[in-house]
Structure 1
Amino acid sequence: MGSLPTEDVLDALIVGAGFAGVYQLKRLREEGYKVKLVDSASDYGGVWYWNRYPGAGVDSTVPHYEFSDPTLWKEWTWSQRFPGSAEIREYFAFVAQKWDLRRDTEFSTHIASAKWHEPSLTWVIKSSCGKEYRSRFFLLNTGFAARRYIPDWKGIDSFQGTFVHPSYWPKEEPDLRGKKVAVIGNGSTGVQIAQELSQVAEEFVLFQRTPNTALPQKQINFKDNEHERVPKETYPAIYAGRTTSFGGFDFNFLPRNTFSDTPEQRQQVYETLWQHGDFRFHLGNYQDLMFSAEANEEAYAFWRDKVRARIHDPALKELLAPQKNLYHFGCKRIPLEINYFEMFNQPNVSLVDVNATPIERLTPRGIQTTEKEWEFDYIVCATGYDSFTGGLKQIDIEGAGGADHTLAGKWKAGTKTYLGMSVSGFPNMFFTYGPQAPTALCNGPTCAESQGEFLVSMMNHLAREGRGRIEAGEEGEAKWGDDVRKFAYSSLLPGTKSWYMGDNIPGKPREPLIYLGGVPNYYNSLKECAEQGYAGFAIS
């Protein structure tokens, strides 16, 4: 392949129409770049386009979970403190209209492959239907939940009812009244969907492997409680504060250790955090929560006692909130819940511990465990995703080394990135909300804007310098990996099996996939890299 005609070449092809992708489209166009946004869905929203199952909603409070652009927030008004997925899709439609996104967006476009063409310093990118794009920059915003995971159970195809992964939930809501419904998995999606389906199903069964340390969600309907809405004049300060908070909110870990307070003081601190009804009990707790096993056990004991008081059956108390913590609190993804634990007091709800009675196979009538066959009309497979790396590796990406240098091949033995955004050997390719960045512990719009601004500044820097190629250096990549592991292994996180460590996918390397240094440290790393002329990158 020789040189390519420049008039057909984009400055950037952006993949993914969630928060990060639409922000990059808006900002790069403002800077005068020729860009296009593509997504496999038929509209904007990213993960929120797909997450339309009953109970789906965000667990970050507004106004944290929105863009900081005044042309948006001065007009847009949320109806709830924690918006549901339908309202988030409405928000994206509003953003698309205000930012005039549709003229440069192509939907129903699944990117299947990308190859770096060294002579022209461009990427040749193809969709699954054969359409070809040529672009100087390849910007991937697939997020951490782009590749669904369904265990390889025997007999799935034999089941005569409806078997569905929540991200494939029908747009036309099925009527589950009077039906027998199973949910397999009790992660954040499982918790949300179980709360809803258990209220309508004749018989509802949750299949659990590990108890979920969900926190209470204090939902507020602003129509009925207008006085509790955050005043809009405070929004700029809230947005500015997102980069100074560990999780991208407006609160931080307390600047003292757990046992520096008396037992009475600790109980008061825990109770105050608990009453907020958001992530404060996790990300606004004592600073040693994620680093000291004793401190972690203290927080868990408070959580356990709060939850057990809500459950009637003694056996269920132990299965849902065991006296001894089975893993460190906060080292698995913590969701927010409203009536999750009370749900198990209902006569139509059962809990199956798959450690005691594992699933053997699916049958035409339902699920066969080692104990019995359960009959169902609907089986919801809430088993999550091949998180962080799965969405990137499912695209056939060939870097500067050609067919022998693919992203999937490079990451086969473990993930390597620089700044959680780029990979050596893959010039002009960047990704957001992916592995080795704050990602799952960072409020999404916060990461979208921080990483997006880094990309805009980097492309402007190259343009000013008359340079056309930038690639993560192996030294910078190695140092970043060391930093990721240093933060992780100084914490309690590696001691727990979770998708944060890749444990949920058979054969996936076990490694820290999240940058645990927090948003402020990460933001400063991006800032310092830019101020030092993009140190750690090779520019040519």
Structure 2
Amino acid sequence: MSSTSANGAVNGVANGTNGTNGTAAQEVDVLIIGAGFGGCYSLYRLRQQGFKTHLFEAGSYLGGVWQNNTYPGARVDSEIPYYQYSMPEVWRKWNFSERFPSGQELKAYFKHVDETLDLSKDISFNATVADVQYDSTTAKWTVKTESGATAVCRFLICATGSSFKPHFPAFKNLDKYKGELIHSTRWPNDADASITKGKRVAIIGSGATAVQCTQEIAKQAQHLTVYVRTASISLPMFQRPLSEFEQRVNKSIYSGLLARCRATKSGLGYDPRPGSTWDLIDAEREELWEELWARGGFNFNQANHRDFLVDKKAGEMMYAFWAKKTRPRVKNPAKAAFLVPEKPPFAFGTKRSSLEQDYYECIDQDNVDVVDLKANAIQEFSEGGIITADGNERPFDIVVMATGFDAMTGSLTNMNIKGNDGVTFEERWKDGVFTHLGMCSSGCPNLFMVYGPQAPTAFTNGPVFIEVQVDIIVDFLKKLRSENIVSIEAQRPAEEKWKQAIQDANDKTLLPLTDSWYMGANVPGKKREQLNYLGGIQQYEVECRTALETLEGFTIVRGEASQ
């Protein structure tokens, strides 16, 4: 295992923070890209198993999305105690202050993780990967960063996550705008909404980020205009403080609770609801829904009967309940009609529900306008603001682009990763995504993806699923090492079978009826297809471990037998 001083290079791998270029390439067993939940856990587990491992992180510290997304109001929507690592050495001496921690608190959590697990000694920060190439003659990857650091590895793990590459819609004359243009992933001052104080602000978007930004900026701005294409069906977060005493007592069951999460579909410790919406009479159903609603978070959909994803009428009933709870919070009739319409704007659950605290009260304020982009699209930007199709030009000091990500695939297509065929992921996936098990790609021997496409990624609580997937990958690498397998590569027929199974499962649901980032539909030109495995964490692990046992669907190359 490598080590470093605070100001030195890591075993010959330049620490990007210091910008020391030209060092000799460092050879390691495993090179990890990305220091979010997936990369940090991969480093921790691989070091345990004796693999010489190093990690390149483009940012200045651990945290992944919690280092990049520092917009006002940023917070996780999976609740504590479920949203954290399961290792007792981490949770024993850490307490969160809220049920749904803020981005700032999660930054502090990653500092605790680093100090507890001693991760930074094997990480190069400010190390943006610029070039990755596979050499078939040596069966090794060479990874180069913009700062000149180079690593050669047998195995490459891309722990680059689902939400890295920001999406900028191609608005006409965007470059002419003279005000401050901010994408939510690049907020200039961490979680500080005060830069909008007394300003004329626009927010473009209606997803989770836009909801969280709206809640904070509406309280600061002189005037806020929110541009919404499709109204969000946001659920109540019911945020609350967590006391040290409560967590100290509950830690007696943390290990069992977090282990139980791994055996669920979503990675949340909610009791599953078997059967159908129609198993209950109206009064029983209403009582159940009131109880789930009062719990807050994702209880209303994740702990409910799940047939709303396949039965349109069941979804319409859930929407009617949601609207009954939500519409009275919006006093302005025009806003209420748009934000909480009589008919659902899309089938319930086919877009990711945002969690909100006072979104509807904030957007109802007199200093907030809402623009329906389907009725009045953005025509172009001007030097001073935004012009819509009705010819109206609204002036803005600040425009916030809460326009999301090239989700699931963008972090991989954004890197210049060339496999044994010399093809990058951008070219490889130009006509759609192909993977085997949502972890491996043909043309890319010994490369593994964490929290990427065609895995349960977006339908799960991140840390729980990440631990499951990384544990599978670690067991793959242990098997390859013990059986003297030099390289392993996914076969195209196995990828086609995996992809088809995902699309077939998707076609049995209402998900294809809605344009969403689940389907890749938020990025023009991206193939519209289901990008997530729908069977849940437990079933995914069963399928992966079956493949691990037999190595079915892989081409393997074994090393020469030792003399």
Q: Which moved more, 1:236-245 or 1:16-25?
A: 236-245
1:356 and 2:375 correspond: yes
Q: 1:188 corresponds to which residue?
A: 208
In structure 2, distance between residues paired with 1:445 and 1:339:
27
| Distance change (3 Å), C-alpha of 1:16 and 1:287 | same
Partner secondary structure for residue 469 of structure 1:
strand
Q: 1:388 corresponds to which residue?
A: 408
1:38 and 2:56 correspond: yes
Look up the equivalent residue of 1:350 and give its one-letter code.
D
CA contact (8 A) 1:253 1:287 kept: no
Q: 1:469 corresponds to which residue?
A: 487
1:479 and 2:497 correspond: yes
In structure 2, distance between residues paired with 1:180 and 1:198:
10
Partner secondary structure for residue 408 of structure 1:
helix
> 1:497: Cα distance to partner?
0.6
CA contact (8 A) 1:243 1:523 kept: no
Look up the equivalent residue of 2:303 and give its one-letter code.
G
In structure 2, distance between residues paired with 1:75 and 1:57:
22
> 1:450: Cα distance to partner?
0.6
| Structure 2: unaligned runs, 5 residues or longer | 1-23, 558-563
CA contact (8 A) 1:529 1:536 kept: yes
Q: Deviations over 1:233-266 (max 9, x none)?
A: 1111111111221210112541011111111111
Q: 2:283 corresponds to which residue?
A: 264
- Please give the residue correspondences for 1:511-530 in structure 2 after superposition, counting only pairs within 5 Å: 511-530=529-548
1:534 and 2:557 correspond: no
CA contact (8 A) 2:76 2:100 kept: yes
Q: 2:435 corresponds to which residue?
A: 417
Q: Deviations over 1:19-65 (max 9, x none)?
A: 00000111111111111111111011001101111100001111111
Q: 2:101 corresponds to which residue?
A: 83
In structure 2, distance between residues paired with 1:141 and 1:227:
33
> 1:150: Cα distance to partner?
0.7
In structure 2, distance between residues paired with 1:7 and 1:385:
33
In structure 2, distance between residues paired with 1:356 and 1:252:
41
CA contact (8 A) 2:25 2:149 kept: no
> 1:428: Cα distance to partner?
0.4
Q: Deviations over 1:147-186 (max 9, x none)?
A: 1001111222222221000110013535322111110001
In structure 1, distance between residues paired with 2:338 and 2:538:
37
Q: 2:389 corresponds to which residue?
A: 370
Q: 2:17 corresponds to which residue?
A: none
Partner secondary structure for residue 475 of structure 1:
helix
CA contact (8 A) 1:81 1:222 kept: yes
Q: 2:233 corresponds to which residue?
A: 213
Aligned residue pairs, count: 531
- Please give the residue correspondences for 1:443-454 in structure 2 after superposition, counting only pairs within 5 Å: 443-454=461-472
CA contact (8 A) 1:115 1:399 kept: yes
1:306 and 2:325 correspond: yes
Q: 1:25 corresponds to which residue?
A: 43
> 1:466: Cα distance to partner?
1.1
| Distance change (3 Å), C-alpha of 1:230 and 1:315 | farther
- Please give the residue correspondences for 1:116-127 in structure 2 after superposition, counting only pairs within 5 Å: 116-127=134-145
1:295 and 2:314 correspond: yes
Look up the equivalent residue of 2:397 and give its one-letter code.
D
Q: Deviations over 1:389-433 (max 9, x none)?
A: 11101112211212xx33222211110011111111210011111
Q: 2:195 corresponds to which residue?
A: 175
CA contact (8 A) 1:82 1:219 kept: yes
In structure 1, distance between residues paired with 2:518 and 2:249:
32
Look up the equivalent residue of 1:125 and give its one-letter code.
V
Q: Which moved more, 1:11-20 or 1:301-310?
A: 301-310
In structure 2, distance between residues paired with 1:226 and 1:346:
38
In structure 1, distance between residues paired with 2:245 and 2:339:
35
Q: Deviations over 1:203-243 (max 9, x none)?
A: 011110001001000111124x9558871111111111112
Q: 1:204 corresponds to which residue?
A: 224
Look up the equivalent residue of 1:479 and give its one-letter code.
K
Q: 1:15 corresponds to which residue?
A: 33
Look up the equivalent residue of 2:232 and give its one-letter code.
N
In structure 2, distance between residues paired with 1:271 and 1:228:
27
Q: 2:75 corresponds to which residue?
A: 57
Look up the equivalent residue of 1:536 and give its one-letter code.
G
| Structure 1: unaligned runs, 5 residues or longer | 1-5
Partner secondary structure for residue 139 of structure 1:
strand
CA contact (8 A) 1:187 1:212 kept: yes
> 1:534: Cα distance to partner?
2.9
> 1:344: Cα distance to partner?
2.5
In structure 2, distance between residues paired with 1:230 and 1:170:
39
Q: 2:153 corresponds to which residue?
A: 135
> TM-score, normalized by length of structure 2?
0.92
Partner secondary structure for residue 125 of structure 1:
strand
Partner secondary structure for residue 486 of structure 2:
coil
Look up the equivalent residue of 2:361 and give its one-letter code.
E
- Please give the residue correspondences for 1:219-238 in structure 2 after superposition, counting only pairs within 5 Å: 219-223=239-243, 227=246, 231-238=250-257
Cα-Cα RMSD: 1.6
Look up the equivalent residue of 2:552 and give its one-letter code.
A
In structure 1, distance between residues paired with 2:293 and 2:247:
18
Q: Deviations over 1:476-518 (max 9, x none)?
A: 2122112211221111111101011011111100100011111
Partner secondary structure for residue 544 of structure 2:
helix
Q: 1:155 corresponds to which residue?
A: 173
In structure 2, distance between residues paired with 1:144 and 1:195:
25
Look up the equivalent residue of 2:474 and give its one-letter code.
V
Look up the equivalent residue of 1:189 and give its one-letter code.
T
In structure 2, distance between residues paired with 1:155 and 1:226:
55
Q: Deviations over 1:260-299 (max 9, x none)?
A: 1111111111111111111011111113121111111111
1:73 to 82, 85, 91: 91
In structure 1, distance between residues paired with 2:26 and 2:291:
58
Q: 2:16 corresponds to which residue?
A: none
Percentage of identical aligned residues: 38
Q: 2:299 corresponds to which residue?
A: 280
> 1:131: Cα distance to partner?
2.9
> 1:115: Cα distance to partner?
1.1
CA contact (8 A) 1:222 1:229 kept: no
In structure 2, distance between residues paired with 1:234 and 1:20:
24
Look up the equivalent residue of 2:99 and give its one-letter code.
R
In structure 1, distance between residues paired with 2:249 and 2:475:
32
CA contact (8 A) 2:76 2:102 kept: yes
In structure 1, distance between residues paired with 2:386 and 2:245:
46
CA contact (8 A) 1:417 1:436 kept: yes
Look up the equivalent residue of 2:315 and give its one-letter code.
N
In structure 1, distance between residues paired with 2:247 and 2:95:
13
CA contact (8 A) 1:297 1:328 kept: yes
CA contact (8 A) 1:311 1:341 kept: yes
In structure 2, distance between residues paired with 1:427 and 1:418:
12
CA contact (8 A) 1:414 1:509 kept: yes
In structure 1, distance between residues paired with 2:136 and 2:128:
24
Q: Deviations over 1:99-121 (max 9, x none)?
A: 11111101111112211101111
CA contact (8 A) 1:182 1:378 kept: yes
| Distance change (3 Å), C-alpha of 1:383 and 1:7 | closer
Partner secondary structure for residue 44 of structure 1:
coil
In structure 2, distance between residues paired with 1:284 and 1:398:
43
